[in-house]
């Protein structure tokens, strides 16, 4: 399943609905999707808020697919290059009032999925998330 979004926060709910529709179509338990919804939210907020210049139009392509061990969601955008895997890790032992601003969304993203990969192809960022979850038994 594929979905095209514009770089507007008002379109984020479309990605959540697409995930729910995809899961329902494939009989995946909605309870197992909560962390993936969090990851989608954090990723799209970061891309839309920080990846484009003010007023710049952009396109974000979302792809949903079954993987052997769960569900794979891939986002491809034409925003500025940004590899979330290179973002510094957050020290969660530091009190909130002493933490530097920024980076928490990437921390949440990393911890919400089982696997996270990044690639830059041409002028496009490609972020792939994998969440392990059992597939329903298929009847023969």
Residue 33 has pLDDT above 50, yes or no: yes
Centroid of chain to Cα 102 = 17
Cβ proximity of 2 and 106 under 8 Å: no
What per-residue confidence (pLDDT) applies to 91?
60
Report the pLDDT value the prediction gives residue 28, as an integer from 0 to 100: 86
Q: How many structural domains does the chain have?
A: 1
Please state the φ and ψ torsions of residue 131, each to the nearest 5 degrees.
-120, 125
Inside any domain, residue 92 = yes
- DSSP, collapsed to helix, strand or coil, labels residue 114 as coil
Q: Can you list the pairs that 30-37 forms with residues at least 24 positions away whose Cβ atoms lie under 8 Å?
A: 32/131, 32/133, 32/134, 33/71, 33/131, 33/133, 35/112, 35/113, 35/131, 36/71, 36/73, 36/112, 36/113, 36/129, 36/131
The verdict on residue 87 lying in a domain is: yes
Angstrom distance (rounded) from CA 51 to CA 38:
19
The CATH number of the domain holding residue 105 is 3.30.565.10
Domain-located, residue 122: yes
Residue 10 domain-assigned (yes or no): yes
Question: In this structure, is residue 37 part of a structural domain?
Answer: yes
Q: In this structure, is residue 119 part of a structural domain?
A: yes
Average pLDDT taken over every residue of the chain:
87
CA distances to 43, 95, 107 from 21, rounded to whole Å, are 19, 39, 27
pLDDT digits (tens, 9 = 90+) for 54-112: 999 999 999 999 998 889 999 999 999 999 888 767 666 656 666 555 556 677 788 88
139 within domain boundaries: no
What domain range is 64 assigned to? Answer: 2-132
Report yes or no on 27 lying in a domain: yes
């Amino acid at each position: 399943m594929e979905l095209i979004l514009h770089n507007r926060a008002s379109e984020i709910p479309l990605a959540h609905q697409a995930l729910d529709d995809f899961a329902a179509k494939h009989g995946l338990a909605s309870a197992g999707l909560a962390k993936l919804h969090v990851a989608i939210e954090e990723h799209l907020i970061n891309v839309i808020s920080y990846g484009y210049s003010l007023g710049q139009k952009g396109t974000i392509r979302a792809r949903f697919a079954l993987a052997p061990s769960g569900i794979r969601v891939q986002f491809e955008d034409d925003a500025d290059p940004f590899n979330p895997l290179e973002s510094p890790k957050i020290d969660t032992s530091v009190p909130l009032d002493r933490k530097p601003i920024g980076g928490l969304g990437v921390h949440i993203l990393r911890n919400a999925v089982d696997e996270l990969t990044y690639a830059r192809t041409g002028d496009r960022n490609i972020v792939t998330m994998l969440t392990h979850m059992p597939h329903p038994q298929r009847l023969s």
